[in-house]
Amino acid sequence: MPYTAKTIEYLKRTSPAQSEFYQATQEVLLSLRPLLDKEKKYQRYNIIERLVEPERQIMFKITWMDDEGMVQVNKGYRIEFNSALGPYKGGLRFHHSVNAGIIKFLGFEQIFKNALTGLQLGGGKGGSNFDPKGKSEGEIMRFCQAFMSELYRHIGPTTDVPAGDIGVGGREIGYMFGQYKKLTGRYEGILTGKGLNWGGSLARTEATGYGTVYFAQNMLEAAGNSLEGKTCVVSGAGNVAIYTIEKLYELGAIPISASDSRGTIYDKEGINLNTLKELKENKKVSLVHYLDEHPHAIYTPVELYDTKMNPVWAISCDVAFPCATQNELNENAAKELIKNGCICVSEGANMPSTADAVDLFIGTKNFLYGPGKAANAGGVATSQLEMSQNASMQSWDFETVDNKLKNIMKGIYISCSETAKEYNSTNNFVLGANIAGFKKVADAMIDQGSV
Ligand code: NDP
Ligand code: 2IT
């Protein structure tokens, strides 16, 4: 489409070397074509050009002292992408691969995801190229404090509210919250994913994984199917993967895999959840130790991966849940999944499937594909429930939050599904999610004038 090509060309020229950002943008723009053809107001108000440019991009230096007394330097980012629907909201990622393009793709996806929740949330994302691997507890704390020593001046409970993402969980949120309080003297909801006895919400830890499973459940039920008895493969072994696996067991499915940055575990009897939590949440060690307690499982280290794909996608399954990172599921993997009988993919991670893989899923008759910006929106939605509890000084019980999460995920499914039908693309939830999310943001931008 000329409009898409023109925008991508413009982005490549003005924001060079941001391949993940172009990828995310291209997918959205291609989906929007039928809407833009029909409703000329979006072009009249130049919404696309306005939307692909972040409102504000903050880049800063983080200096901190390691255990040897060496001063270390990292890059810090907070990209405040779009505030048409509410305060900027989105996680912080600490991973060695982080750069401006990655934070920008995540921030861009976040705009539509947050819109789909139906809640008042703008889109943003942040992070650092800090590598938490092998760092001591003291180093993690000093880094988090140094990161917040700059970030604190840019965030606020009604302006920008970060949360966790890869490499940022409850521990890091705690250190950052403490530093914010120290610097400002204010005790307020400037981060979500907080500890339960200092402002956190029950079910926030579980929300992304649970929500991804609820989304799969909605897709399958609408097709007259269910998760019960289904064999599921899951990639990742962090927050999203763990609570995906937990909810799958609760709904009678059998999750048989997990993976981390060093390898993949396949346990045909079903992944032992207690072992997984002990290794990844408490001890924070490699998945290879799963074999210590479950020697019958099969472990494949990354060095032995087929160069064409992660072995997790070669395991025969009914439903797949990519829950690790972007572009972890390529065209070969998608072919393999479909060939081996997989009928549904629900994305816990952000943009885990490459564009070719997405095309294959969408082009396969009766295949159910839940894109990340819809399927993993339960995390940010529950973050908003945390903000809501903070603002009203209340705390709701687990069932209350979980029921709200379930309803929000159902609402997202309905909105994707009905929008897809409206554009004669039944079950194309990529088109459904992108158009439904876009309309909310774009209409708000038009109402609010050229600001
Ligand atoms: P965690 O840091 O808790 O876990 C990430 C997991 O994925 C870890 O097991 C990690 O391995 C593995 N991993 C990360 N990067 C790579 C890589 N490049 N190659 C192979 N394995 C990798 O993060 P989350 O579970 O929070 O996030 C997972 C995904 O879900 C991300 O895409 C994130 O953006 C998305 N997401 C997260 C939400 C949240 O609320 N946390 C909400 C919505 C989406 P190792 O253990 O070795 O580090
Ligand atoms: O990608 C995401 O939606 C998240 N990392 C969670 C964001 C949030 O603000 O809870």
Ligand nearest to the CA of 372: 1
Q: What is the mean pLDDT of the chain?
A: 97
Ligand 2: distance of its center to the CA of 341 in Å? 31
Question: What DSSP element (H or E) covers 264?
Answer: strand 263-266
Pocket test for ligand 1, best of 112, 246, 261 (most atoms within 8 A of CB): 261
pLDDT tens digits, residue range 316-370? 999 999 999 999 999 999 999 999 999 999 999 999 999 999 999 999 999 999 9
Catalytic residue among 125, 247, 280, 404: 125
pLDDT tens digits, residue range 414-424? 999 999 999 99
Q: What pLDDT band is residue 306 in, cutting at 50, 70 and 90?
A: confident
Atom of ligand 1 nearest to the CA of 259: 9
Ligand 1: distance of its center to the CA of 9 in Å? 30
Q: What pLDDT band is residue 307 in, cutting at 50, 70 and 90?
A: confident
Q: Kindly provide the b/e burial profile for residues 84-95, where b requires at least 16 CB atoms within 10 angstroms of the residue's own CB.
A: bbbbbbbbbbbb
pLDDT of residue 96: 98
Looking at residue 110, its amino acid is Q
Q: Is 125 in the active site?
A: yes
pLDDT of residue 222: 98
Q: Which CATH architecture has domain 2-187?
A: 3-Layer(aba) Sandwich (3.40)
pLDDT of residue 2: 64
371 and 358 in contact (C-beta within 8 Å)? yes
Rounded distance, CA 273 to CA 446, Å?
Answer: 48
Give the number of other CB atoms < 10 A from CB of residue 207.
32
pLDDT tens digits, residue range 96-124? 999 999 999 999 999 999 999 999 999 99
33: pLDDT strictly greater than 60: yes
Pocket test for ligand 2, best of 208, 323, 373 (most atoms within 8 A of CB): 208
385 and 407 in contact (C-beta within 8 Å)? no
3: pLDDT strictly greater than 90: no
Closest CA to 57 of 8, 101, 98: 101
pLDDT of residue 319: 99
Query: Span 226-235, mean pLDDT?
Result: 98
Closest residue (by CA) to atom 28 of ligand 1?
324
* Range list for CATH 3.40.50.10860 in the chain: 2-187
Q: Kindly provide the b/e burial profile for residues 419-442, where b requires at least 16 CB atoms within 10 angstroms of the residue's own CB.
A: bbeebebebbbbbbbbbbbbbbbb
Ligand 1: distance of its center to the CA of 349 in Å? 7
Ligand 1-lining residues (CB < 6 angstroms): 91, 164-167, 169, 208, 236-241, 260-262, 280, 323-325, 348-350, 376, 379
Atom of ligand 2 nearest to the CA of 193: 10
* Range list for CATH 3.40.50.720 in the chain: 207-370
Ligand 2: distance of its center to the CA of 145 in Å? 21
Residue with tokens 């399958």: 220
Does any ligand 2 atom lie closer than 6 A to the CB of residue 408? Answer: no
> What is the pTM (predicted TM-score) of this model?
0.98
Query: Span 378-396, mean pLDDT?
Result: 97
Report the relative pairing of strands 88-94 and 257-259 from DSSP bridges: unpaired
Pocket test for ligand 1, best of 113, 166, 259 (most atoms within 8 A of CB): 166
Closest residue (by CA) to atom 46 of ligand 1?
260
The domain 207-370 having CATH identifier 3.30.1330.10: the answer here is no
Does any ligand 2 atom lie closer than 6 A to the CB of residue 91? Answer: yes
Closest CA to 163 of 15, 362, 350, 384: 384
Rounded distance, CA 21 to CA 14, Å?
Answer: 12
Ligand nearest to the CA of 382: 2
Ligand 2: distance of its center to the CA of 320 in Å? 21
Does any ligand 2 atom lie closer than 6 A to the CB of residue 371? Answer: no
Query: Span 55-66, mean pLDDT?
Result: 98
Rounded distance, CA 76 to CA 153, Å?
Answer: 13
Least confident segment among 85-99, 249-263, 300-314, 417-431: 300-314
1: pLDDT strictly greater than 90: no
Does any ligand 2 atom lie closer than 6 A to the CB of residue 380? Answer: yes
pLDDT of residue 88: 98
pLDDT tens digits, residue range 147-187? 999 999 999 999 999 999 999 999 999 999 999 999 999 99
